[in-house]
Every structure is written in structure tokens, then in C-alpha cells.
Structure 1
Amino acid sequence: MASSTGPEPVSMETYWKRRVFVMAGLFAVLALVAYACSGPSDTGKRAAGVDGSGDDNVSASPTPSPSKKPSPSPDPSASPSKSPSGSPGPDGGEPGGGEGAEAGDGASGEPGGAGGIAAPKKPEDPCRPADVVVTMKVDKTDYAWDQKPKVALTVTNTAKQTCTVDVGPKGMEVRIASGDDGVFSTAHCAKGAKAAERKQLRRGEPVFKTVEWNRKRSWSDCRDKDVNANRPGTYVATLHGDYSGGTGTKVFRLN
């Protein structure tokens, strides 16, 4: 009669080996499942993007929208000029920024410069102060008792258009003072034909004017014409009028 015997007992070493093999197999299966479920590798995606065959690359590139044709900017030369060209302003900068806004262009036809003088269109028109450069000098800085001071004016038009400047005793008034005492003015008693002296100035051609002071005092009411102003001391000559800007003062001494 055969005896029934149970399974032989398994050693601990065999038990743990079996456990390790089972766990390794399980991890292998999980790795295969994870690999099968994952998408294409990054390398495949990059390859598809390079050769342009991938659908993702096509959808990611937006269809370029047609560029709008820029509207043409207005051509400055297309607009008709309202008045003839002039010239740039005097040394120190141009009043305007463009070809049609320079000091002598007068493109707008509006008054410009000091005194509201419009841009000249013909030689008889007055020059704009911004287009005229005036310099003033005295022939000496120290005068003997019998010498008469002379004030020299140089007037130059910088505009292209020939225009007119009054270099007379009122248009370009020379004043001489000793301290606060106004001793002499060319505008005093200037009447009639002697009150104005209009000169037409072409561009860059200076006009010269000399005022000689006879060392006598003058008054606006023309009284006491023969009163001498021969007091020794320091005197100052200044220029007044529409075109006097930038001339400054000239100092001299009478002995």
C-alpha cells in the first residue's frame, strides 16, 4: 500500500530566488506595456519636423496672412509752392525744419521773423529780419579831443530773394550814451527824405553804412543842436530797429 507524502519542504534560498525571478518578469512586462503605450520618441518628432513630413509640423506653421500694401506717403514735391523759394536763416541755425519752412523759402506765405514781415517776393519788398545779418563796429576805442567817433554798419542779406532794407537813421538807429544819459541818436530830427535810406540787398552782397558822431548832444524835439557833449569818459554805442538783433554794444572813450 503506497503511502501519500506531501511536497518536500522548499529551502529559503530557493524561495527567494523564485521571488526574484517573478518580480523581474513582472517589471519586464510593465516596461513593455509602458513602451507600447508611449508616443514616438523625441528623435522621431525632430526628424519629422526637419523633413516636413509630420502632420504636427504642418499644423503648427500658421498660414501667412497677406501683408497690407502700405499707403503711399505724400510727396513733398507734389504740392505746389505758394511763393518763391528764399534762403536759410542767418548764422546760428535755420528757423524752419524743411525745405519749405526755411527762413527764406516762404512756402506758407505767412509773416515771419521779428515785426511780422512777410517773406519777400520781389526786390522792393522788405527783407525779413531773420534773413539779415548786421554787424556794428567803432573805428577806435579811444578818441582824442578833436576826433569824431565813427560807427560802421555792415548789412548782409542771406535769403535767395533780393529784398529791401532801410539803413536810414530811423530804420537802423544808432544811439550813444554815457551811463544812463542818452547823449545822441540818429533818429532825432530825422524827417522827410533824410528819415529813410532804402537799399536793395542781393544775397551775400553786403551794404556798408557809416555814422559819424560830431560829439554834439541831440534831442527828439531838435532843440539846442550846437550843445557839445565833449565830456571825457566812457561811452556806449548801440543799434536799434528791426534788424538790430545780435549786434550787441560797442564801448569807446572820449578824451
Structure 2
Amino acid sequence: MSALLHPVGPEPEETYWKRRAAVLAILVVVLILLAWGISSLFNRSDDTSGTPVQVSTSPESTLSDPPTTPGTTPESTDPESTGTESTETESTPTGTESGSPGATPEATPSSTASTSATESTAPASSPATTSASPSPSSSPSPTGPVLCTASDVVVEVSGAQRVNTGRTINLNIALTSKSPCVLDFTETPFELRIYSGSDRIWSTNDCSSYRFGGQASLTPGGTWTHTIPWNTRRSLGDCQLDSRFLLPGTYVATALVSGGEPSQHVMTVLA
């Protein structure tokens, strides 16, 4: 131990310590160089194994062809595949057939540019598709006459207030409308009834010749009129009338369109 700390020899002790320091420095440099060489070797191995695999941008080749590695030429797995798939598969790895890993970065931008062009082209078709779709058209407005509803029609009945039995009285029917329309008597029938209390005496529905037919054009400022004669006898249906005249009393004529508000006129039949 004494010889290690205090070298013995023909030369001064300082010389031996310098030699030891030089040897130690050389050893440290060698270790550093060795470590750097090993690190470079591993980094190069990682770069080689991490080379990006060239993948075809075509949807058909992506589904049917296996990925290729640099330096190898992909072979078609199906000799009877369509011509489109074969052409796209064989033309895609052109930039990687040089056989050296260094050629791979040059092929990658080409693939990226092709993908970018595809992505930039796809949205451009959306406006054309949208503009080509037919816009909903508004439903056409009716150009013909508007049919009256029961709520549109105002009915009024009038006539003499006294009539002798056995005589004929004329009952006047007036129709108006809140808005211009056409009243179709087939769709909206009109009826005139005559009551004595709850007893139904006479009705236009008891004979076809009494009923209104056709159409009537109604306006808010105009009045459609019609006169119905009644001979103070009871109707029996099928256009038949009772042979006897009515007894003196009070009778009420009620006019209405189906579903609408009725109008009444009170009459007194005298002997």
C-alpha cells in the first residue's frame, strides 16, 4: 500500500504520478469512445427498424394488399383480381424500389401530397351536391272558387206573419257570406222546416222538388235569395201532402244550412 501511494524508482515520485494520470485519462477517453460507438450502433438500428412502411392510398389496395417494406416489391396475392387493383398496387411503391433505406423519405412526401390532394378534392364536391338537390317548392295556391263552409254562411228567413189556412204563403230565403265563396248545396245541404211546437209539420227534405240544387255564389256585400211557397198543409214524405189544411195556430219556419246557425220566422195561421 505504501508503494502504491509513494512510488519507488529511479525517477522522481512526481513523474510516476503524471504517468498514472496520463494512463487514467487515456482509459477514460477509450471508455467514452466505446460508449459512443455502442450508442451510435443502437441508434442506427432503431432508425432502420423505424422506417415508415409505404401504404397505398387507394382504398382497394389497402383492403387487399399487404404493407410493403423498403427494398421489396409487393406481389399480387390474387392473379385474377381486377385491373384497377393491380395497377394501383404496382404503381404505388415505385419510390421504394431503390433498395436503400434512404430512398424512403423521398417517397413519403409523394404519398402525403396524393392524400392531401384527395382530401382537398373531397369537400369541393359537397357544395355541388347541395346545390343540385331540388329545393322544396311551395304548394300551389288554389286558383278556382273557394267552397263555403257552414260557418261562413249567414241564413235569414222572412215572410208574412199572418196567413189564412188554405192559402199559400211565400217564405223568402236570403243567404250571405262573411267572405267570397261558392255554396255547393250537394256538399252543404239547405233545409227549411215548419214546426208547431215540437211537431214537425213540413220540410223541404220531404220532396226532391223542394230541395235546393246546384251552387250559389256568395259575397259579403251581396245576397242570394230564393222563395219557397207553403200552402199551410202537412207534408207526408215522397212529395205527398195531407189533404187537410192546418188548424189555426202559431207555426215557426226554421231555415239552416247543414252545420250552420238556424234562422227562424214566426207565423200565425188564421181560420
TM-score interval for Structure 1 and Structure 2 normalised by the shorter chain = 0.3 to 0.5
Max Rg structure: 2
Please give the TM-score of this superposition, normalised by the length of structure 1. 0.44
Please give the TM-score of this superposition, normalised by the length of structure 2. 0.42
